[in-house]
Structure 1
Amino acid sequence: MLSQFANGTEAASRVFTYEVQGLRQTEETDNQEYAFRRSGSVFINVPYARMNQEMQRILRLGGKIVSIKPYTGATASDEE
């Protein structure tokens, strides 16, 4: 089991879902190919290896991470 974590195969396959509130259009997001608006909640799937980078990006864009859960493949409407 430890060897799976050491070589990254287990970590590479783990994905988490961030529930983010308060994202808004900024100069940084204007450079995206798509526009997004300030809304209630946005769900973002993030690989384990990029969790820290994605947290920093969300905070830089003015968002607030409400929850982090392991990705199960279900959509938000399936969970409610």
Structure 2
Amino acid sequence: MLGQLALTGAASSSASNRIFVYEVEGLQQNEQTDNNRYPVRNSSTILMQVPYSRMNKEMQRINRLGGRIVNIRPLTEPTSGS
């Protein structure tokens, strides 16, 4: 049990600062987005910055809003240390 906690903590600390950029198309205003304090604009694509820990929840939210994820990429490309 202790070993599992140590491994989980190490994995989450490196993942906690990772940010991904979602390119999303097809978001539109609906009953759910009317409750937001801001309007959803109708455009071809938008870019959203999403922390690693919220990726799954954000994908579900985008699907509920009628959007489609076109591309997912890290905010910064990893650099090779060699």
TM-score bracket relative to the smaller structure: 0.7 to 0.9
- 1:41-80 aligned at under 5 Å gives the runs 41-72=45-76
Deviation at 1:5, TM superposition (A): 6.3
Structure 2: state its 5+ residue gaps: 1-5, 77-82
Matched, 1:17 2:21: yes
Q: Normalising to structure 2: TM-score of the pair?
A: 0.79
Q: Matches of 1:13 and 1:19 in 2, distance apart?
A: 20
Does the residue aligned with 2:53 lie in a helix, a strand or coil? helix
Match of 2:8 in 1: 6
Show structure 1 runs of 4+ deviating over 6 A.
none
Structure 1: state its 5+ residue gaps: 73-80
Q: Say how many residue pairs are matched.
A: 70
Q: Report % sequence identity.
A: 52
What is the Cα-based RMSD across aligned positions, in Å? 1.7
Deviation at 1:38, TM superposition (A): 1.6
Q: Matches of 1:5 and 1:47 in 2, distance apart?
A: 20
| Structure of larger gyration radius | 2
Match of 2:3 in 1: none
